[in-house]
Amino acid sequence: MALRKVKTGIAGLDMMLQGGFPEGRMILVTGGPGTGKTIFCSQFLHHGATEQGEKTVYISLDETKPHFIEEMLGFGWDFRMLEQESKFTFVDASAIRRIPEKTKVGRLPVGGKELARARLIDSIFTTADGSGSTSIEKFIGDLGAQRVVLDSISGLLFRFPEAWEKRQAILDIYEALDATGATCLITSEALSIGEERQVQSEEYLSHGAILLQTLETGARAVRILKMRGTEVDSAPRPYRILGTGIEVHSDQSIFGT
Ligand SMILES: Nc1ncnc2c1ncn2[C@@H]1O[C@H](COP(=O)(O)OP(=O)(O)O)[C@@H](O)[C@H]1O
Ligand SMILES: [Mg+2]
């Protein structure tokens, strides 16, 4: 059965993806700081809300709501208006970074998957709505959101020093997001760039992964590292960040031909 495609809001990228992201999948957007991950994800949400009439959610671990709203207004994207139209919900999960290590999220006990998951996710939504009684699945399900962004997963994973703990936390978050049926973008800060780049668990475990890079020449390149269930253009292609958002030149190579 052919997967339905979800337009990304970036025309050149839709070309590379043969129509868009596979619906309901989890796509990792990885890259170094300043490569445009937050702008990329916001463009995806804005397109869904304004062009497709979809409901959207942005779960932020890095930015506060006023900062996000203001920054995106710079691209002509009025998320405050979308919020008033019930097409956009901002979840400020930045407080999770300030929760003392041992009390709230804590270290995961061996085999304590349920406990770990409940705590991690509760702590996001405790900070979001004050009740702590909901889950990601329920929260997003109640809203009926079709597009969800978690920016960034690195902001959560730093709490888990051991590789197996990180992997478990990623699995828990992915499982929760997968259950919502929404198409989800999850950002992560790339640790290393170039061919020696380490494949991290969050990339390995996702359905798809997109890499944003700033090359030594200063040029920017986007590459689809993987996209399960669909043919894609896996060559690196140039992109630019403009006052109107991200533009991908899918007909050009990064070598300037
Ligand atoms: N109006 C603009 N025109 C061109 N580039 C911009 C504009 N606004 C922001 N940028 C670029 O966007 C980048 C920041 O994007 P952002 O999505 O916050 O990155 P990330 O989330 O990957 O750290 C910066 O490198 C900045 O140069
Ligand atoms: Mg960012």
Q: What is the pLDDT of residues 164-220, one digit of tens each?
A: 888 888 888 888 899 999 999 999 998 765 555 666 788 888 999 999 999 989 999
| Ligand 1 pocket, residue 35 CB under 6 Å | yes
Q: How many C-beta neighbours within 10 Å does residue 122 have?
A: 18
* Distance of alpha carbon 138 from alpha carbon 93, whole angstroms: 16
- Tell me, in angstroms, the distance from the centre of ligand 2 to residue 150's CA: 10
What's the pLDDT at 113? Answer: 46
- Answer yes or no: is 256 within a domain: no
| Ligand 1 pocket, residue 39 CB under 6 Å | yes
- Tell me, in angstroms, the distance from the centre of ligand 1 to residue 243's CA: 10
- Answer yes or no: is 145 within a domain: yes
- Answer yes or no: is 252 within a domain: no
| pLDDT tens-digit map of 24-83 | 999 999 999 999 999 999 999 999 999 999 999 999 988 999 999 999 999 999 999 999
| Ligand 1 pocket, residue 220 CB under 6 Å | no
- Answer yes or no: is 121 within a domain: yes
- Answer yes or no: is 255 within a domain: no
DSSP run (H or E) holding 79? helix 79-84
- Answer yes or no: is 36 within a domain: yes
User: What's the structural domain count of the chain?
Assistant: 1
Burial classification of residue 178, based on how many CB atoms lie within 10 Å of its CB (0-12 exposed, 13-18 middle, 19 or more buried): middle
| Ligand 1 pocket, residue 37 CB under 6 Å | yes
Label residue 133 by pLDDT band (50, 70, 90).
low
For residue 93, the enclosing domain spans 5-247
| Ligand 1 pocket, residue 218 CB under 6 Å | no
| Ligand 1 pocket, residue 43 CB under 6 Å | no
Ligand positioned closest to the Cα atom of 29 = 1
Q: Residues with Cβ within 5 Å of ion ligand 2?
A: 37-38
The CATH number given to whatever domain includes residue 82 is 3.40.50.300
- Answer yes or no: is 254 within a domain: no
